[in-house]
Amino acid sequence: MGKHDKFKEKKVAAYKRDFKEIETRQGKKDPLIVLSFKNFDINQSQSFTDWQADELLALALDKLRALCEYTIAQATNNGLLKIYTKVPFPPESAFVHPKHIPQDIDWSSMHIGNKPCVIGYFEDNIFHIVFLDKDHEFWITQKKNT
């Protein structure tokens, strides 16, 4: 037999390794935005078919997909969406507060174009989409300088 027999039986202790502890970063990353259509109001909102006919649906989906790459703070800081914190529901609106939506939420809007908006609210990091508003009637404002 050769000097070094690699098939020679080794003692169990030779296979034991020391484990080192690895320090991990404490704290959590803010979660990214997730979408929900669970509370979509089909009675007041335009339909997806309406938006498709007006060539808004694909644009809206592209923007919503991009929104999901951000946290709520990042999306608001970058101007992708606006959260209305001062009033529970817009004082001037063509919509009424749906009965199935809690009263104490902060409404949010995301502009798809000049007028079209996606309207909803956040529950944790979930953006619950409630209305498709192609004519900007959720929060009616007076035109400036006219």
Predicted local distance difference test score (pLDDT) of residue 40: 96
Whether 17 is in a domain gets the answer: no
Whether 108 is in a domain gets the answer: yes
Predicted local distance difference test score (pLDDT) of residue 29: 83
Which residues constitute the domain of residue 59?
27-133
Burial of 42 (C-beta count, 10 Å sphere; 0-12/13-18/19+): exposed
pTM of structure: 0.76
pLDDT digits (tens, 9 = 90+) for 62-102: 999 999 999 999 999 999 999 988 778 888 888 999 999 99
Q: What is the CATH number of the domain that holds 76?
A: 3.30.2310
Q: How far apart are CA 120 and CA 98, in angstroms?
A: 11
Predicted local distance difference test score (pLDDT) of residue 123: 96
Domain count, the chain: 1
Please check whether residue 127 is in contact with residue 120, taking contact to mean a CB–CB distance below 8 angstroms.
yes
User: Model confidence at 32, in pLDDT bands (50, 70, 90)?
Assistant: very high
What SS3 state is found at 49? helix
Whether 143 is in a domain gets the answer: no
Whether 3 is in a domain gets the answer: no
Q: How far apart are CA 46 and CA 137, in angstroms?
A: 11
